[in-house]
Amino acid sequence: ETGVTQTPRHLVMGMTNKKSLKCEQHLGHNAMYWYKQSAKKPLELMFVYSLEERVENNSVPSRFSPECPNSSHLFLHLHTLQPEDSALYLCASSQEVASGANVLTFGAGSRLTVL
């Protein structure tokens, strides 16, 4: 257990479905992140929240919609996804957004398959 919990661990959805990924951190961190991890590719930063405010959105398609209701919870709402969106979605948290040794604590990820 890293202190960052993601649910569900596995999700299979059709292209017309609507689903959500959930992330919860118990570390008292102020920043939370969504990353996409595809095989043999670098981690892709999707969204960053600092104290519940979105501070970064890296040109992510609108079919991905983040929500941060408080500093401990982060959601990623999914709708009308494409097969190429199949990947491991990692949530992470850190003490602050931009600092020297900004160590990220990751969850184990949600493995998404879009049919």
Contacts with other proteins, residue ranges (CB under 8 A): 2, 4, 40-43, 45, 90, 97-109
Q: HSE (CB half, 13 Å, CA atoms) of 6?
A: 26
We find the least distance from the C-beta atom of residue 6 to other proteins, in angstroms, to be 9
The C-alpha atoms of residue 40 and residue 86 are separated, in whole angstroms, by 14
We find the least distance from the C-beta atom of residue 81 to other proteins, in angstroms, to be 22
Which is nearest to 63 in space by CA: 86, 82, 87? 82
With b for 16 or more beta-carbon neighbours within 10 A and e for fewer, the 69-83 pattern comes to: eebbebbbebeebee
Look up tokens 């959930």; give the residue.
22
We find the least distance from the C-beta atom of residue 30 to other proteins, in angstroms, to be 14
Q: What is the DSSP letter of 28?
A: -
Query: For residues 40 and 53, which CB has a smaller minimum distance to other proteins in the complex?
Result: 40
Query: For residues 85 and 93, which CB has a smaller minimum distance to other proteins in the complex?
Result: 93
Query: For residues 21 and 90, which CB has a smaller minimum distance to other proteins in the complex?
Result: 90
The C-alpha atoms of residue 77 and residue 79 are separated, in whole angstroms, by 7
Query: For residues 17 and 97, which CB has a smaller minimum distance to other proteins in the complex?
Result: 97
We find the least distance from the C-beta atom of residue 75 to other proteins, in angstroms, to be 18
